[in-house]
Structure formats: C-alpha cells, structure tokens
Structure 1
Amino acid sequence: MTTALYTHADCLNHVTPAGHPEQVARLEHINGALAGFPQLDRRDAPECTDADILLCHPQSHLDAITAAAPANGWRSLDADTHISPGSLIAARRAVGANIAAVDAVLSGDVKNAFIATRPPGHHAEQSTPMGFCLFGNVAIAAKHAMERHGLECVTIVDFDVHHGNGTQALLWNEPRVQFFSSHQSPLWPGSGSENETGGHNNIWNFPLAPHSTGQEMRQTYEAEIFPAIDRYQPQLILISAGFDAHMADPLANLNWQTEDFAWLTRQICDLADTHCQGRVVSTLEGGYDLTALAASVAAHVQVLMEKSA
C-alpha cells in the first residue's frame, strides 16, 4: 500500500493578483518537490458536487461564490481573498479531492493521502470567504466521513500558523469531531483563544508565542494534544497541513524547521496506527516561502509514504 496524492492542473488556474502570497507558484514548487517520489499513487482531484459543498455551507454561499467568478481578470471578495475565471473549478476540485481521499482511505484502497490543491480552505466560514479560502475543504471532508460513512469520532489537526477559524466555525456544534489548532498568537485572524471550546467541548486551541521554536511546539503537542487524541480514539485523522510556521515564512513569526513538520507528521501517523488503521488524510493549507514550502511538503509526504509502506 502507498500514499495517494490528489492534485489537478486546474488548481494552477486559480490566479491571484501579482505579489499575492497565495500564488500559482506555490503549487508549481510543490509539484517539483514531489516529482522525485515516483512511488506516490497520483490521482486527479475530481470536481465535487454541490451536495458536497452544502454539507457545510448554505446554498446562498455557493450561489454567491459562483456568481462572483469573473469572465476575466479577478474579483476581490475582501482585501486578501480573490477569485479569477479558474478559481471556482479549482475550489471545487479542492473539495472533491478531500471527498475522494476520505473514500479511498476508509475503503482501504490506500492507507493515507496528501491533497495538493488550492485555494486552501480552513478560513472559510459558513457564508464568508476569507483568508484566501472559498470553501471549508477539511470541514467538508469530516462531514462527509460522518454523514456518508457513519463515523462517530473524527480528529482534525490544524498546524497552520494561522488559526483555523473557518473549520472551527463550521464544526463548532459538531460533537463527532475533535478539532485541534496550534497557531501563532497574536496573529491574523485574531481568533483561536484557549477559551473557544465549541458547543460540545470539541474545539481545542493552542496559541503559540511569536518567535517560539519547534521545541515549544513539540512540548505542547506531547503534553496536551497527543494525550487528548489518545483518549478520543478517532476513527480517522484529518490534517490541515499549513507550512507557514516555518522560520522562513514571510507572513508569520514562528521558527519551526523542516524537520519539525516531519516529526509532527510521524507522531500523528503513529496515533492513527494505534487508533484507526493508520487512516490519515492531509490537505495543503498555507506556506508562502516557496523554497521552505517545497521542502516541508516533501518531508511531510515522505513520512506519510514511510507509514503507508
């Protein structure tokens, strides 16, 4: 068994304004880094259905995003979030890849999967695109696993440097999900305090101080997050894999190294081996220094492949 890689050339057609950090080059650099892994099970990200998006978002949100897509150029949904002619299908493939990856992992077709798509998703709230995100990709994956596969215990680990406010909002009242977010604080979007615990004590936020290192991250996960996952005994682990906590990233101030992402991935996979037959689906979120992003994704996927062998 090996690791499935879901991606699609359509995700290169989500074009943002010149100088925007969430740029086409992110995926190009990731594709280059993963080209050296021929043993990956490479799969085209399918386009999702409307029903998939509606697992987390109202019809009005889907209609608004669809109507916003311009015929040319781009349209700004807020100061940071933009949509171009190719953005809608790219976003639908990001959702579709999450649906397909959950299906593949739960069926035993593959042990784990990495989704290299864009735009990212963990900032999109019920009716609000924001933070470069249009739809809540990972939250939708969790809902799909529960509503269509009958899972009752799903864990999401979000290690992006920015708080996963969208995933938190979409799953706030969902007792079948345990959501963890470690993130720099203070930092945009300003949410993610420890007292934000969800409607069923299902939200766990772990703010990390600016300029803290991977050592502080490891201590937090070992003392707080891993024991909580152990107690929960999830049937599936989803990862919001943002690589912008890297010390080279221009949008934040954490000082993780590439090997910290490999360490964290290995620990999460070990928990998955213990509780859910190794079933992990990881989805790209942030990471904006192109060299650090490519190296960190490669390290992350290398561990996924080792654990799936």
Structure 2
Amino acid sequence: MNFSTYYEYHQGLGGGPPLAVFAAAAAAAAAAGLPAPPLKPPPLRLHSRQRLRVAAAALSLILLALSFLRLYLHCFEAAVPAVCSVALLLLLQQHSSRRHPAAAAKQRLVALAGAWAFAAFLDSTTVADYLFIPEPTAAAAAAAAAAAAGGGINQQQHRNTPYAACGGIREDYDQQQQQKSQQQQQQQQQQKQQQKQQQQQQQQIQIQQQQQQQKQQQQQQQQQQQIQIQVSLQLCTCHQLKQTKTAGSLGLLYGNTKVKQNKKREKKKKKKKKKKKKMKKKKTKKERKKRCNRVYLLLQLLAAAAAAAAAAAAAEIGAPL
C-alpha cells in the first residue's frame, strides 16, 4: 500500500487504523528503502465530501424536526410531507452510492426539497380540503354557521386558506386560550384589588386602635389626678392647712435666699472679668512702653556711633569738625 493512498484512505474513513496496519506499512517501507511512517496518525481533517455529508445530514435533521413541529402545531396535513421525506430518505440511504457521497448528499437534498414543495402545493390548493378533511365537530359547525350568518369569511375563501381542514378546531382552540388568558387576567386583577383593600383596612384598624389607646391613657391620667386632689382635700384639716401655709412661706423664703445668692455670684463673676480686662490693658501698655524705650535707646546708640565715626574720620583728615 502506498503511503499517499493509505493516508487518503485513513482520512476518508475518519478513524484511526490499528497497529497491525502500521507494522505492515513500516515493513513495506523498510523493504523499499523508504522512511517508516509515524506511529501517531495524522490530524483528522474533513474533506469537502465529508463536509457535504455533514451538512446534508444536519439539514435533513432540521427539516424533519420542522415538519414534525408543524405536525404538532397545526393539523394532520403536515403528516404527508413528513412521511414522504422519511420514505425518500430511507430509499436514498439504501440506494445511494457509497463511493460518491457528494452525489448521495445532493440526492437527499433534492428529495427533501421535493417533499417540501409537495407540502406547499397541498397547502396552496383545495386538494387538502377534499383529501384530509376530518369529521366536523359540533363546535366547528356552530362556528361556521355563525360566520356565515354574520357575514364573515366566505366558504370558498375559507377553503383556499392554508390549514383549512382543521380551521374550525384551531379557531375553537384559540378562542378557548383567549378566554383562559382573559379569565386569568381578571382573577389577577381581582386578587390585587382584594390585597389592596385588605392592606387599607388593616392600616385603618391600626390607626383606630392607636387613637383609642391614647384616649384611654389620657382619661386614666386625668382620673388619677382628680383622685389625688380629692384625697388630699379630704385629709387636710385646719392644722394641716396652717402647716402647709407655714411650709409654703418657708419655701418662699428659701427660694428668695437662693435667688439672692445667685445674684451675688453673678456680680462677683462680672467684677472678676472686669479686673482681668483691666490687667490685660495695663500689661499691654507696659509692654508698649518697654518696646518704645528699647527703640529709642537703639536710635541713641546708632547716633553716638555715627558721631564717633565722623570724629575719627575728621581727625585722620586733619580738618576741623
């Protein structure tokens, strides 16, 4: 086996060869005088054919999933393209040539496109109305009668619409879903309103309770004060009244003495403050005098020094002053 063909075969298969193949290739290379191939296989890289295979498989899976989803969401019409596409894929899988994977992938894509074109043809014509019409239900018949009586959609127009076979069932289902959603919204709104009302009622009840408690406390305090006053009046006699009077007079005297003492203290404090201010002023005056005297002395010293210097200069020159 040539090394180039061997590597092409290895990359075409997409899997690692066994050790026996490497041993045989190494023996053949040694006999031919060629270097032995490496034990590690070359890195796996997809050719254009393999990429086409992967793309075709992915597209086929996506189209199948879409067809079954269409079958689930809408009516039984989608079963026809789904079954056709599955059958065509199986036939192509059996009869596709393994030597030419690109051609097989193209055939699969063409088959899938044909199946979807057939489905579009069924949707756009009235053949589906006559082939796949289910038994009419009471709800569908009532809806059709109401539409005809109210001047709704014409029967011929309804036939030409896509998914006409199950239109009544779909409309009933949509109406039920709309009613359910409306009921849920109404229930949610009612619950919100009830919650708001309950919160407001609770707040009002709390405010009323607080007000009642405050009123009760005030009434109790007033009653206690009145009871104390009445008891004190009943127990007091003339002698006690005299004692209270003397005590009151003594209290007044004591209060007056306190006031006088406070006034004296304030006067003393004011006097002390005045004295401090005066002392500060005196100190500042003395300091100013000292500074002035120092400056005056310095000036005198400077004048004497200047006169001495002038006399010395005149003596040196010999001129009279």
TM-score (norm 2): 0.15
TM-score w.r.t. length of structure 1: 0.15
- Bigger RCO of structures 1 and 2 (CA < 8 A, at least 6 apart): 1
Instruction: Compare CA radii of gyration and give the structure with the larger one.
Output: 2
Structure holding more strand per residue: 1
The structure where helix makes up a greater share of residues is 2
